[in-house]
Chains A and B, each alone.
Chain A
Amino acid sequence: SQQGEEDPQALSIQEGENATMNCSYKTSINNLQWYRQNSGRGLVHLILIRSNEREKHSGRLRVTLDTSKKSSSLLITASRAADTASYFCATDGRGSTLGRLYFGRGTQLTVWP
């Protein structure tokens, strides 16, 4: 299947520390997107990285993509308690689907004050 899978399933850190979450997928992609979801709420888009990009930054977020290993990572630097949420990667399918996204199970990040 196409789905991205995040690792670890759960991550617990102190405020100020960095949080790294990983995503692996199985088939080629056009792009990979990272989303955040607070408990029971909607999906907030964080970053889209295209298959020809290797790294992207947005504020305290840094995303890398290694298409040879079919993996991506999301780094949150200087984490805050407000970063507590579930983080999902979502992949599309190169040339085979019309925008359909495949989501992983997510990483539950808890940041302790």
Chain B
Amino acid sequence: EPEVTQTPSHQVTQMGQEVILRCVPISNHLYFYWYRQILGQKVEFLVSFYNNEISEKSEIFDDQFSVERPDGSNFTLKIRSTKLEDSAMYFCASSAGTEETQYFGPGTRLLVL
């Protein structure tokens, strides 16, 4: 069964450093998403992406964040200058349509020191 994959599974970085989180969505999906989950809190929407542009972003997704689909398979989330409060599990998801099932990857656990 097709699945969303994410790399790395864990990332530790120093405050102020840039990180890039990578995702490979399910191959025939057209809609891509990033969510995050701070430890013990709700899963929160960051951004949705369709047709090579951002469809919607939340208030969390400020200028420090960017997304890109650099080729036909990868979908990346970049945090330009990490803060302590960016420590969280970051999930990538993809779907065939906006009203279809969103399939989530296993997540990248980011720790900012």
B101 within 8 A of A: yes
- Smallest Cβ-Cβ distance to A102: which chain B residue: B45
A84 to B77, CA, bound (A): 31
Contact A99 B101, CB 8 Å, known A42-B107, A88-B43: no
- Pairwise interchain contact B56-A98, C-beta atoms closer than 8 A: yes
- Pairwise interchain contact B45-A101, C-beta atoms closer than 8 A: yes
Contact residue among A48, A88, A98, A103 (Cβ-Cβ distance under 8 Å from B101): A48
- Please count the residue pairs between chain A and chain B whose beta carbons lie under 8 angstroms apart in the complex: 69
Q: How large is the interface on B (under 10, 10 to 19, 20 to 34, 35 or more residues)?
A: 20 to 34
- Report B's interface with A, CB cutoff 8 A: 31, 33, 35, 41-45, 48, 50, 55-56, 58, 89, 91, 93, 95, 97-107, 109
State the 4 A-B residue pairs at the shortest beta-carbon distance, nearest first.
A99-B98, A42-B106, A43-B104, A103-B43
21 residue pairs bridging A and B, Cβ less than 8 Å apart: A33-B101, A33-B102, A35-B104, A41-B107, A42-B104, A43-B43, A43-B91, A45-B101, A45-B104, A50-B99, A88-B43, A90-B102, A99-B33, A99-B55, A100-B33, A101-B35, A101-B43, A101-B102, A103-B35, A103-B43, A106-B42
